[in-house]
Structure 1
């Protein structure tokens, strides 16, 4: 299983996932309960690779991810990732490492906080290609 977490400079879980540049990518194929999670690969997207701009005309650095963890996302982002085989988990948890630990332990994550950009994304999604 692969989990990607949208971040702000790799420090906090990022909202407005369609514009997220920095992602922590965890490959959990060899992970076993009780072990420390593996160190993540830091992925920095080019602007053309942001999901708000990506045209689906080439491979993407986050291809093959099973779960994307974000602080907020519009419905278009969620649909877009679902088409690529990725589920989206929206959380209010700010610490990406703590979010991963809770996911691996099967614990509930903090509820998402209100984010005005989500409302704006919903409006944008009405006219989006996604």
Structure 2
């Protein structure tokens, strides 16, 4: 499973998922993190810019976590088989652990 977390500043979970260019992408197997990499999109490849589609770099993810995203983006992600989750947690690794504890569809 791949989970992307918005992190425009590379340190914290950030809002405005549609305009975010930087994501921590975690590989998770059997509830354990097996990999973590920073994904950086070009300005022309953000979720906002490629609407109504999904940037090809994000098509392999199973879930997207952010501190904020609009209902239209949540619906678009769902149509593309990606679970959208919002969090109040600011630390990406902690946000991931909370998501895993809650369960991902």
4+ residue stretches of structure 1 with deviation over 6 A?
none
Measure, in 1, the Cα distance between the counterparts of 2:102 and 2:55: 31
How many residues align? The count is 103
Measure, in 2, the Cα distance between the counterparts of 1:43 and 1:82: 21
Q: What RMSD in Å do the two structures reach over aligned CA positions? A: 2.1
Measure, in 2, the Cα distance between the counterparts of 1:4 and 1:76: 18
Match for residue 26 of structure 1? Answer: 26
Measure, in 1, the Cα distance between the counterparts of 2:68 and 2:48: 14
What are the residue-to-residue correspondences of 1:9-48 with 2, within 5 Å?
9-28=9-28, 31-33=29-31, 35=32, 37-48=33-44
- The residue matched to 1:14 in structure 2 has which SS? coil
| Alignment TM-score, normalising by the size of structure 2 | 0.85
How far apart are residue 41 of structure 1 and its match? 1.5
- The residue matched to 2:73 in structure 1 has which SS? helix
Measure, in 2, the Cα distance between the counterparts of 1:77 and 1:63: 14
Deviation per CA, 1:81-127, whole angstroms, max 9, x where unpaired?
112110100111000010112222338xxxxxxxxxxxxxxxxxxxx
Runs of 5+ consecutive residues of structure 2 not aligned to the other structure: none
Please tell me whether residue 54 in structure 1 is matched to residue 50 in structure 2: yes
| Alignment TM-score, normalising by the size of structure 1 | 0.70
- Structure having the higher strand fraction is 2
Runs of 5+ consecutive residues of structure 1 not aligned to the other structure: 108-130
